[in-house]
Structure 1
Amino acid sequence: MAPNPIDAALQAALDGNLRRLKKKAKEVNLREAKDDRGRNALHFAAAMGRLGTCEYLVDEVGIGANCLSGDGESPVLLAAAEGKVPVLAFLLGRGGDPAKPDSGGATPLHEAAEHGYDEAVRLLLSKGVDVDPLNYKGTPLHLAANKDQEQVVKTLLEHGANVPQHGCQSRLHTAHDSVLRALLEMCKATGSGEAGADVNFKTSRGPTALLMAVDEGLIDIVKFLIEAGADPNIADHRGRIPIIYAAAYKQREIVETLFPTTKPVSSLQGWSVDGIITAMGKIPLEDKVTYSLKEHIDFLKSQGKQAYAKQDYLQAINFYTQAIEEDPGDETLFANRSLCWLQMRDGDRALLDAQQCKTIRPSWSMAWYREGTALSLLKNYREAADSFVQALKCDKHRASTTPASDMINKALREAIDAMKSGAGTEGQNPVSESTATVDISHDNNSSEHSTERLYNEQAQLVLQRLNKLAM
């Protein structure tokens, strides 16, 4: 069986087979030909770096350099994501938007930085794009540091990337050694901290980068941090400074490195390298500094909560996403991120997080409630009502009526009212900040009689289930 002409044309663009593509152009309209994800020939050619094909599609066929796929991907973004610099330069020269994000908020700079394409990063920055765009995964610097893209980190810092921006600074503690070096090299090179890196940064309960380096026995990092201006007199939440731990571990070279800039501890007699090591030799090795996973997750949760309170939902999503990466089994993280998606009117992502929350803890009423709220936002009121009923079942096991059960009841009745009224058209449906329920707009002009009857029948079934719960 001969391939579909559209599929054949897209495959020719993917392969860079310009002769075959021109032949297929006589059979199909290349400006309209797309796959099931809304990608056209230019998307495929750009992602594969087919410069000649891209030139033909833009200059002769007339496909715009800013055309979008179903996921909001532009050819510029796809070329940046694959590091196809000649194609990227061509598209930008033909009016391609260097900062256009996809539907998830990822910009070409996010993609190029995360995948380590430094030349593409430099090209985009030369076009004046924001060095610190934020999506729910973070900034380009955040993504590059997380993937150990050392050269990209340096480039971004050279162009003024802000290390503390939206939680990126907490990644100083989890980045690979080479990236940590790059961050601190930039801080040292600028002298006045223009790159934004604070070598003495620590979380509310966690240690500084210097304490981390001491804990791991990384003498080179310790030396580098001291040269970069790290303060060895900053204690952890136990009140202990780096030299105390270095001495307890009998790490003589680290003690010698820290000693000249560490203030004497009055409780330790014989303040010298040997004296400190001798005095601390009695401390059990297991009693050492650890930047525990729990502390890190708690910090990210608190930052997410603060961002949510400020109605900075994208930043809150960023923190919750980082926490989920550390602990994907915590249902509350998915519930919280689902709520943020709801506030941003993204029902699909809110539903995915709610369903993951429900998978982890199926007996939790809030998981079902989040699912129901997301379904209501998507105007699937029948399934939303079912989810709210399940939430009430979970909540029924409590000793008395709770604010949560009142909230669920309210959301259920709103979903039922929406079914009765035949609501299903686009409306405002704002998410309440206090309860995260959906305010369903009532449509007095009902749809066709058969549809209204179907909604009423479904509503009656849900009401019957609700009445059984009350018995």
Structure 2
Amino acid sequence: MDGRTQRTHGRGAGKSRLTLFPLFGAISSPQLPASDSPVSPPPNPSPLSAPTADSSVSPPQTLHRSRLLSSAAAAMASSPCDIALKAALGGQLRLLKRMAKKVDLRRAKDDKGQTALHFAAAKGCLDSCKFLVEESGLDVDSATKTDVTPMFYAAFGGNVEVMRYLLDRGADPSTADDRGSVSLHNAAEEGHCEAVRLLLLKGVHVDPMDHRGTPLHLAVAKDHVEVVKVLLEHGANPNRVANHVFSPLMMAVCGKALKCMKLLIEAGADVNVHGYSGPTPLTEAVDDGLMDFVMILLEAGADANIPNQHGAVPIELAAARGQRELVEILFPKTKPIPSQPVWSVNGIMNTARSPRIKHQDASSVEQRIADLKSRGKEAFGKEDYITAMYFYGLVMDIDPLDATMFANRSLCWLRMREGDRALEDARQCIMMRPHWSKAWYREGKALSFMKTRS
């Protein structure tokens, strides 16, 4: 599914989501290629970039939605500090020990505040970590400028032995970075089941909330079934709502994580939970045409009479999509709708196909969305990115699941040279539409920009 997924904004409305792509291709930038065409998703980023003989120190890859490690450090002169950091990143213990005789490694940091221990933990070099802590005196909880600790990196890479060592030396596994993310978020998002178990065994709170959600939200979004099992076994709340919209169940639908959805329901997830914006897991599943998801949700007690944020109930969404089979499934579960002249499967399908009714029901909402997107596009064309983002935000208020708006806003942040914010919106887009190449393209552009800036 791509960002142009069919969306229904009003009763009986069947028009597709209005999108702004492609629209930015004509705008060039010396830092960014002008092309805005979708590309295939890149492979999952490695936790760190291996150094070459003549390269500068390259710290671990930037973690999801967090200002963690820059993807490459600024060019460094070959000072003892620089060589020490490079040795830690490359797992070169002998070289690291030689540099320790020339410089106090406790003072060796890059411009992000990352120490040799951060690099060694990310690399998974246990011997280097032991040397740095026990012989060089580095603090196991030394923090970067964004409050990231070595434990954070070890958890992201699933380096359990390093994690265990740091914990044994007194590291605090609950330390949060400047955006509220903790090590458990990283381990869960990356699918490191053993790392998740270790952190929970050490008493880490199972449901910390950051700007993206809880570890359960992140594991479900990535369809990490085993991690979801572990989190639920340890009491993770399957009903917490993040960003006013996303329950873990909604994340399962958006990410097409069927097994995770079943686990959540078995754990007591409320199939009718929804945020202030209106959509329920059922309305989202119907709107996306996910037959298996709809069947399971209905069997679990999902209410087919709860409308989405535009007032349309699931059966109207299905009819607007031309999904007769879904209409037949939903019909016995749906109360008669006064605006439907003939209450039958055929009657509902005929109403949805009526051009006049479709236009009348959809025009007001669709027109407002089209107008807002047009004004956003116009503002972008004038390089007025703040105004463009304002209009995109108004569209998000109407349809908080419109992934294209997050992609567009990501590009605005990029033009404003706000790499972190561009990356955050891109990854929000990925969480909502993980199979859409444009979302991955946006992430790649943000990461590339941040690498260039570092």
Equivalent residue for 2:433? none
1:132 aligns with 2:207: yes
The yes-or-no answer on 1:256 pairing with 2:333 is: no
Matching residue's letter, 2:287:
D
Measured against aligned partners, the alpha-carbon deviations of 1:181-224 in whole angstroms (never above 9, x if no partner) come to 3553233212xx2xxx3322344454332222222222122112
1:167 aligns with 2:249: no
Deviation of 1:158 (Å): 3.9
The corresponding residue for 1:189 is 266
Structure ID, larger Rg: 1
Listed one character per residue, the Cα deviations across residues 231-285 of structure 1 (whole Å, up to 9, x for unaligned) are: 1122346654322343454423212322333334577677554454456543666
Number of the residue aligned with 1:412 = none
TM-score, normalised by the number of residues in structure 2 = 0.56
Q: CA deviation at 1:109?
A: 1.7
Q: CA deviation at 1:167?
A: 2.7
Partner residue, 2:283:
211
Q: Deviations over 1:272-308 (max 9, x none)?
A: 5445445654366676799979899569879xxxxxx
Aligned alpha-carbon RMSD (Å): 4.2
TM-score, length-scaled by structure 1 = 0.55
Per the alignment, residue 120 of structure 2 pairs with 45
Is this contact kept in 1: 2:84–2:99, CA < 8 A? yes
Select 1:19's aligned residue among 69, 94, 114: 94
CA distance 1:48–1:223, change in 2 (3 Å)? same
Matches within 5 A, 1:389-408: none
- Please, which of 68, 74, 93 is the counterpart of residue 143 of structure 2? 68
What does residue 270 of structure 2 align with?
198
- Aligned equivalent of 1:225: 297
Higher relative contact order (CA 8 A, sep 6+): 2
CA distance in 2 between partners of 1:54 and 1:218 (Å)? 48
Alpha-carbon distance between aligned partners in 2 of 1:274 and 1:225, rounded to the nearest angstrom:
24
Q: Is the 8 A contact 1:199 1:225 kept in 2?
A: yes
Give the deviation of 1:4 after TM superposition. 1.6
Give the number of aligned pairs: 312
Unaligned runs of 5+ in 2: 1-53, 55-76, 373-390, 422-454
- Of Structure 1 and Structure 2, the greater helix share is in 1
Task: Provide the rounded CA distance (Å) in 1 between the counterparts of 2:156 and 2:318.
Answer: 43
Distance 1:270 1:301 in 2: 33
1:342-395 superposed Cα distances (whole Å, 9 cap, x missing partner)? xxxxxxx9xx99xxxxxxxxxxxxxxxxxxxxxxxxxxxxxxxxxxxxxxxxxx
2 CA distance for matches of 1:330 and 1:198?
35
Q: For residues 108-137 of structure 1, what are the alpha-carbon distances to aligned partners after superposition, in whole Å with 9 as ceiling and x for unaligned?
A: 122323444333223212221122223344
Match runs of 1:177-326 below 5 Å: 177-178=254-255, 181=258, 184-190=261-267, 193=268, 197-204=269-276, 206-236=278-308, 239-265=311-337, 272-274=344-346, 276-278=348-350, 280-282=352-354, 297=393, 325=406
1:341-420 matches, within 5 Å, as: none
Q: CA deviation at 1:329?
A: 8.4
Determine if contact 1:148/1:176 at 8 Å carries over to the other structure: no
Report the Cα distance in structure 2 between the residues aligned to 1:77 and 1:4, rounded to whole angstroms.
27
Instruction: Give the Cα–Cα distance (whole angstroms) in 2 for the partners of residues 330 and 182 of structure 1.
Output: 33
Q: 1:298 to 1:119 in 2, by over 3 A?
A: farther
C-alpha separation in 2, matches of 1:37 and 1:177: 34
Q: Give the Å deviation of 1:98.
A: 0.7
Is 1:119 the counterpart of 2:194? The answer is: yes
What do the CA deviations read for 1:148-202 (whole angstroms, capped 9, x no partner)?
6555445434433333344364365566644553553233212xx2xxx332234
Q: CA contact under 8 A between 1:6 and 1:34: conserved in structure 2?
A: yes
> Aligned partners of 1:183 and 1:224: how far apart in 2?
12
Q: Which residue of 1 aligns with 2:409?
A: 328
User: Does the 8 A contact of 1:34 with 1:40 survive in 2?
Assistant: yes
User: Contact 2:80 / 2:103 at 8 angstroms: preserved in 1?
Assistant: yes
Residue 46 (structure 1) shift = 0.5
Shift of 1:97: 0.9
Distance (whole Å) between structure 1 residues aligned to residue 91 and residue 155 of structure 2:
18
1:288/1:116 CA distance change after superposition, 3 Å: farther
